[in-house]
Structure 1
Amino acid sequence: MDEHLSNFGETLQRSWPQKAFIDLLYIHPIERMSSGLHPLAYVLQDARAHQIPIVPVTSSDRDADHNAEIMAADQLDHLGASIRITERDFDSLQPIIDSLLGALQMTPEQIDLIVDYGYADPSLLTRTTLFLTGLIDNLPYLQAWRNVILCGTGFPKNLSDVSANTIDQIHRAEWLIWKKIIRTGTVNREPIFGDYGISNPEPFEGDPRFINMSANIRYTADDKFIIFKGLITRKYGSAQYHQLANQVVCHPEYSGRSFSAGDLYIDDVAKMNDGPGNATSWRKAGTNHHLTYVTNELATVSLP
């Protein structure tokens, strides 16, 4: 655990030196640092040392030790906490939320409530929108929460349904759902938008050494993700990213090299001035473009 969390604060400061939420949902509750310190206490302490404000996240499956660390952090940072609710909680929201409020000894005014609906099938947009509209309106203490955040994604767990050597599209279900909820004005409190970038929330399970991954560039555009997919990199190599990058640059929805650092990288690889890169560098470029694109959308979206 020490190795896994080493340099957390330094890395966060370099990548995202702003207020952030931290959720250790993939760290087993029995894990501790070699010093005996709880992992949540360690990352909060490390972030604090680098002057990064962190709001810790809890949920219905966290233990008493986890919540105790959140209480202790609030005594130092006065940043409150965040509660994440997911599908497994939707049937018993009131008792679950009341239990968490009691465990944290906080009021809703100190808490950001994240409604995380995970993967939203783009083919079920209307059904999901209606469900989430009703869910938001029936949240306990709806007007009291510091923030209500709606989070999900239409991005699939993998791109196996996208054929090799093609350019395909996937609806940004999370964006379409949020816009419809906001524009219809039917909810009693407008939620803040949240997504999973250009990824699916399910963690990858498997050994990458034995996965036949195809070269691909994930590019966020108006209401859609555009997928530029090549061939298996193990067999055909990474040089194909030059061609894929050129396809992005030539696409009518390319935002231009000055739009973001990710777009600059795409253009440089297309011109053979950089790259070809690998899966990590392309996820980085795509995520950078996505964050810039969504930030611009949120600044200009028309509300009722």
Structure 2
Amino acid sequence: MTFDRRHYVPVVKWKQGEQKALEVLTPASKERITPLIEIAPIDWDFENEMPKKTVDEHLVNFGETLVRSWPHKAFIDLLYLHPSERMTSGLHPLAYILQEARARHNPLVPVTSSERDADYNAEVVASNQLDHLGAAIRITERDFDSLQPTIDSLLGALQMNPEQIDLVVDHGYVDPALLTRTTLFLTGLIDNLPYLHAWRNVILCGTGFPKNLSDVSANSVDQIDRTEWIIWKRIMRAGTVNRNPIFGDYSISNPEPFEGDPRFINMSANIRYTAEDKFIIFKGQITRRYGSAQYHQLARQVVSHPEYSGRNFSAGDLYIDDVAQNNDGPGNATSWRKAGTNHHLTYVANELSTVTLP
């Protein structure tokens, strides 16, 4: 399927908050979105120095969760699972996930990259032979210096033509200080992509969201530039690229998965709220010391902010307003990731449908 240039491809980490955020999107928003789902890494047991789960335990409910949260077309990427992982049955995890989706008539397009091994790519080939959905190739900064040989190698391994493939140009995190430089670089990169006009879709993906919010002071309201959105708009409005990329981002997350020992991480209560060209951060204090009740006050700050979209804008906004009025909550990190992500996905889907483009 070739996407309309106002279509939206968010990278979604497959965790409970994000799953629930997708589930409660309106039908209108769902029509404009095709998520790129990333299977989360298996959590590490720091006390016993071993994974907390087997890969079977990690993926056991994938099919049921998928059909409940997103019974529509999506991309699927297993980049965080170790190449040696296999299900107890001997199946490759990618084969298992695609099998689970197939059994529920839930179309998934597998994503690969230059870092995947031959076994992974063999499963991508097999899935196309069964589902005829093609594949996606994800290129990142490590590939930019050798695009042609990297892409040709992958096309050979996948036994597919560019017309069967969605090319995801993932520029990762972009520091706001490098916004102009990155815009110029990506403009040139897009125009020099091998087989530029042959790809099924070209998707430009990245984020301005930092790895953590340590630079945001406690008990403050701050903002962070949505560099990925600003860059995409500049590229589109300049009208100089020879192919318009589809917009993608990382929602309200940084690309890097959380890897710290949760026993020693002092998380602060925060609400991440997407607005025009920026993320607004409403930050409280450390939850272990000051508790979760502070979310009621943070929610009141959101609903009184001039860029609050209103309780009827999305399920996430409704939740924020209910917590502000003490009719729900205070919630936890998962419920606030659900609310913030649901608002973000709704906001961007609407934004893309109304943004002025040449």
Note whether the superposition's TM-score is higher than 0.5.
yes
- Alignment-derived partner of residue 85 in structure 1: 139
Deviation, 1:79, is: 0.3
Q: Which amino acid aligns with 1:139?
A: L
Deviations 1:21-54 (A, max 9, x none): 1000000111100000000000000011122110
Q: Please list, as runs of the form range in 1=range in 2, the aligned pairs for 1:8-47 lying within 5 A after superposition.
A: 8-47=62-101
Deviations 1:41-89 (A, max 9, x none): 0000001112211000000011111111011111111000000000000
Aligned residues: 304
1:106 correspondence with 2:160: yes
Instruction: Give the whole-Å Cα distance in 2 for the aligned partners of 1:261 and 1:298.
Output: 19
Instruction: Give the whole-Å Cα distance in 1 for the aligned partners of 2:323 and 2:221.
Output: 18
Q: Which amino acid aligns with 2:95?
A: A
Instruction: Give the whole-Å Cα distance in 1 for the aligned partners of 2:201 and 2:262.
Output: 38
1:300 correspondence with 2:354: yes
Q: Which has the higher contact order (CA 8 A, sep 6+)?
A: 2
Q: Please list, as runs of the form range in 1=range in 2, the aligned pairs for 1:262-277 lying within 5 A after superposition.
A: 262-277=316-331
Deviation, 1:263, is: 0.3
Instruction: Give the whole-Å Cα distance in 2 for the aligned partners of 1:211 and 1:63.
Output: 34
SS at match of 1:170: strand
- Alignment-derived partner of residue 169 in structure 1: 223
- Alignment-derived partner of residue 183 in structure 1: 237
Deviation, 1:18, is: 1.3
Q: 1:205 pairs with 256, 259, 270, which one?
A: 259
- Alignment-derived partner of residue 195 in structure 1: 249
Deviation, 1:209, is: 2.5
Q: Please list, as runs of the form range in 1=range in 2, the aligned pairs for 1:143-162 lying within 5 A after superposition.
A: 143-162=197-216
Instruction: Give the whole-Å Cα distance in 2 for the aligned partners of 1:284 and 1:209.
Output: 23
SS at match of 2:178: helix
- Alignment-derived partner of residue 273 in structure 2: 219
Instruction: Give the whole-Å Cα distance in 2 for the aligned partners of 1:281 and 1:113.
Output: 33
Q: 1:56 pairs with 105, 110, 135, which one?
A: 110
SS at match of 1:269: helix
Instruction: Give the whole-Å Cα distance in 1 for the aligned partners of 2:64 and 2:272.
Output: 28
Please identify, of 5-14 and 256-265, the stretch whose mean Cα deviation from structure 2 is larger. Answer: 5-14
SS at match of 1:136: helix
Instruction: Give the whole-Å Cα distance in 2 for the aligned partners of 1:64 and 1:158.
Output: 34
1:234 correspondence with 2:265: no
Gaps in structure 2 of 5+ consecutive residues: 1-54
Structure 1 residue runs of 4+, over 4 Å off? none
Q: 1:122 pairs with 171, 176, 182, which one?
A: 176
- Alignment-derived partner of residue 141 in structure 1: 195
Instruction: Give the whole-Å Cα distance in 2 for the aligned partners of 1:32 and 1:124.
Output: 41
User: Sequence identity, in percent?
Assistant: 84
Q: Which amino acid aligns with 2:102?
A: R
SS at match of 2:281: strand
For normalisation by structure 1, the TM-score amounts to: 0.99
- Alignment-derived partner of residue 332 in structure 2: 278
Instruction: Give the whole-Å Cα distance in 1 for the aligned partners of 2:173 and 2:263.
Output: 26
Instruction: Give the whole-Å Cα distance in 1 for the aligned partners of 2:357 and 2:297.
Output: 39
For normalisation by structure 2, the TM-score amounts to: 0.84
